[in-house]
A and B are shown apart, each in its own frame.
Chain A
């Protein structure tokens, strides 16, 4: 009971912090917008279903009757339209993407550190980041442009253009999952996946993919700049559809991870003891690996390699709320979202925009040294 209350209270508090960070961040930029205005813009943008309407979809003989929902905003605060456009179309998608990616990376990092019982573990340890990088770089370097038109019955013609961001993200996502599955397959023998083998298989795959990425960079020519930008992590040019995709992928998987927090605690005792306490260790490992690989993949596919969030944030929160994953996982995830929102705000606040990965690493590395100095990391 007490654990649940602690988890709830901490999560509420950190949600408030995250909301404040998002609001403040939306006001920062070349055009300064006061937080109150940001809140009004957001309130105006809130849409609630207000009714239904009938219409038709398609054309000609394929026209189908269709039921539509009418949305209406309950608020109509007077807001400068330029401010509205800046907040809704430019800043909010980027900020929310940062929040979701930070959330995803910190959640996956917490799970990986507990899973490996290793303080140096982070989401990249099972090859997810390298796989994403290899996929993204391969796509950027390759001359293929996936442009075409899909005809989806009932919806109509949809233009598909994968030559830009979407293609990179798709390839990064696929690369991440292929690499993670590869690591898992290499480390699994007769239905058992020893954690130590998994760790080493991860290192091997990462090293190999590192070679692939280096080679591709040599061949990149004009695309090199884009590759470097992607590899350092970036959130610029985020769109609402990206937010939507990450927002659809991450929360359900996070709920799955939340369902395994007790197992994660028990797994800290060691696999043999966990088994003795009635945990199906191999199945739990598969679920945790798959869920955190997907969560990480969703994050890095859109934001590139953002380092240190998944490593440092769980450590920070462990110092504050303790090692119990029932409290640690939700709080670390929320703090990760806040951390990346703050880091990205710093990254874009200056005269020239920095890659967000540079900011997180620049903040994260010294903090990690501080942790080492306090010897806290030895205790996970």
Chain B
């Protein structure tokens, strides 16, 4: 799959590569005998934010470390601004990419300003004092990350959120074309996480490039221009979040069942993951409307069942969920009467399904024709848990067969 990805998505030639801040080709890294990443291709263009997503141990951090030259590569190439990594000194690398670690090991009472000033290290000669450009870069970095207010406080006295902003400020002071962020939001509460991602987004919009290892898929979908899905050290998929973050990819990469919908507030992908149930897939027809029906459709879809849904009013929560799991949907316009042909289609779909689930909510959309065929009736007043639902569907399918 990664080959296909590199051919279609990163299909730039070497000349074009020269202009990109970071180009990784066919990267392989191993620790001792175990291969951590293999065959990874990745291109970071100026002014873009690439999300590196994948489960723990997928090799996200290793890829970032390989780009900085901190781990040895077994194979493949890394080019920074067109220059092969192996030809660059540590100083030269430090002027091309800045990295923001998850946490700093710094437990010493350096002031925030002193820590940010460390970002100037690759720009200064051994015995040179800081000059005006250093001072400017430091003040800019402090201002952009809104850390100026506590610039003279020891970093040891800051909260986790403040510390992570200081680390970002330090990377900004490095004034590199590319930023590498390792889980920039992992230790942050939700408002700081969003604030940090928005800041990174603004920096990218101003022309920098950034790669962020992110485990929060919705965050990745919302802020990244492209996502690269890593699993078991290989690229599973790469491309715009809408194209890449689907239930299959998430299932394959994370070994979790997932419902990938659309977050109404952001319009981005909303990923709901479930523990893997590993149940056999069946043809299931769901009849019903409303949020509870939508939940059941999402869960059954995530579990891999082949769904049909109807009759539902277009725009109903159940209809949207059905569309997100690629179910066959029989819908009628909102507030319209259920017409004969729609009803007949729904009945036909129900007839050929192994299991028919009826969700009763008394709205009248659910006609007797389907309810009669229902193997499983769910009352919205007393909804089953996900586990119960899946078990009952499996049981119904078993008795049918």
A residues near B, CB below 8 A?
1, 3-4, 117, 259-260, 262-263, 265-266, 268-270, 272-273, 275-281, 283, 322-324, 379-380
Select from chain A the residue with minimum beta-carbon distance to B180: A276
Partner of A275, one of B70, B107, B109: B70
Name, among A265, A276, A324, the residue most crowded by chain B CB atoms within 10 Å (CB to CB): A276
Chain B residues, CB < 8 A from A322: 109-110
**What are 6 A-B contacts with C-beta separation under 8 Å?**
A259-B126, A273-B105, A276-B99, A277-B98, A277-B122, A278-B95
When A and B form their complex, which 7 residue pairs have the shortest distance between CB atoms, in order from nearest?
A278-B94, A278-B122, A280-B90, A323-B108, A276-B99, A270-B105, A278-B91
Find out whether the CB atom of B110 lies under 8 angstroms from the CB atom of A259.
no
Please tell me the number of chain B residues within 8 Å of chain A, measured between CB atoms: 36
Q: Which residues of B contact A3 (CB under 8 A)?
A: 114
**Nearest CB in chain B to that of A271: its residue:** B70
Q: Which chain B residues numbered 165 to 221 have a C-beta less than 8 Å away from chain A?
A: 170, 174, 180
Name the A residues within 8 Å of B110 (CB-CB).
265, 322-324
B121 touches A379 (CB 8 A): no
- Indicate if the CB atoms of B114 and A269 lie closer than 8 Å: no
Beta-carbon contact of A276 and B106 below 8 Å? no
How distant is the Cα of A277 from the Cα of B89 in the complex, in angstroms?
12
User: Which residues of chain A are near B105, meaning CB under 8 Å?
Assistant: 117, 268-270, 273
A280 touches B98 (CB 8 A): no
Inter-chain contacts of B93 with A (CB < 8 A) = 278
Closest to B69 in A: A275
When the two chains form their complex, are residues A379 and B91 in contact, meaning their CB atoms are under 8 A apart? no
Select B70's contact among A259, A262, A276, beta carbons within 8 Å.
Answer: A276
A265 pairs with B89, CB closer than 8 A: no
Q: Which of B121, B127, B180 contacts A278 (CB 8 A)?
A: B121
Which of A266, A269, A278, A379 lies in contact with B109, CB distance below 8 A?
Answer: A379
CB distance from A146 to the nearest CB of B (A): 41
Contact among A1, A117, A272, A278 with B129 in the assembled complex (CB-CB below 8 Å): A1
Asked whether A380 lies within 8 Å of B65 as measured between CB atoms, the reply is no
B129–A4 touching, CB < 8 Å: yes
Cβ proximity bits B71-104 to A, threshold 8 Å, 1 near / 0 not = 0000000000000000001111111011101001
Query: Do residues B121 and A1 form an inter-chain contact, with CB atoms below 8 A?
Result: no
| New A-B pairs, 17, CB < 8 Å, besides A278-B93, A278-B122, A280-B91 | A4-B129, A262-B118, A263-B121, A266-B118, A268-B108, A272-B65, A276-B68, A276-B180, A278-B91, A278-B94, A278-B121, A278-B174, A279-B94, A281-B90, A283-B90, A323-B110, A379-B109
CA distance A322 to B121 in the complex (A): 20
Closest to A275 in B: B70
* Contact in complex: A259, B68 (CB < 8 Å): no
Determine the chain B residues whose CB is within 8 A of the CB of A1 once the complex forms. Answer: 129-130
CB 8 Å contact bits of B9-44 with A (1 = contact, 0 = none): 000000000000000000000000000000000000
- Give complex CA distance A266, B65 in Å: 18
- Contact call B68/A275, Cβ cutoff below 8 A: yes
Q: Which residues of B contact A260 (CB under 8 A)?
A: 126
Question: Which of A117, A277, A324 is the one whose CB lies under 8 Å from B121?
Answer: A277
Bound Cα distance A380, B109 (Å)? 10
Contact B94 A277 (CB under 8 A): yes
- Closest residue of chain A to B113 (Cβ to Cβ) is A2
Query: Is B146 among interface residues, defined by CB-CB distance under 8 A?
Result: no
**Chain A residues, CB < 8 A from B130:** 1
Q: Distance in Å from the Cβ of A290 to the closest Cβ of chain B? A: 16
In the bound complex, how far is the Cα of B110 from the Cα of A329, in angstroms? 15
- CB A272 to nearest CB in B, in angstroms, measures 5
* Contact indicator B104/A273 (Cβ below 8 Å): yes
Q: Which residue of B lies closest to A322 (CB)?
A: B109
A190 to chain B, nearest CB (A): 8
Question: A262 to B124, Cβ gap below 8 A?
Answer: yes
B94 CB, min distance to chain A CBs, angstroms: 2
Contact between B109 and A277, CB atoms less than 8 A apart: no
